[in-house]
Amino acid sequence: MVHTTHEKHAHVHGGDCGHTAVKHGDHTDYLHDGHLHHAHEGHVDEHQLSASSVNPDDCTVGHNCGAHDGTHVHGAQCGHETVPHAGHADYLVSGHLHNQHGTHCDDHGAVH
């Protein structure tokens, strides 16, 4: 497994740091500026969620989430937090990963 670190990260992540907590395997990561950060052995690791049965990276053309209107387009300025997932960017919407895929929005599963 690649061990990527976030250099010179002075912020301390924790339960009341103000960043969204995401359960990731056996630990908790924190969403920070489009990255998943995990404090580890005196430094901060950069993580991403892997494609899995819980968080697939498949196309879900029929997905109709109801959490935003059908004309909403996910992107850097859409107002949803960015989550690194399986080599691409998803957006956190009501506890689910959404991926803009052409003219529709894919559901890439729930996060906690």
Tens of pLDDT, residues 52-100: 999 999 998 877 777 788 788 999 899 999 999 999 999 999 999 999 9
Question: For the chain, what are the domain ranges?
Answer: 5-47, 50-112
Report whether pLDDT(1) > 60.
no
Q: What is the pLDDT of residue 40?
A: 80
What pTM, to 2 d.p., does this model score? 0.86
Q: What is the pLDDT of residue 3?
A: 66
Burial 54-79 (b: 16+ CB within 10 A, else e): ebbbeebeeeeeeebeeebebeeeee
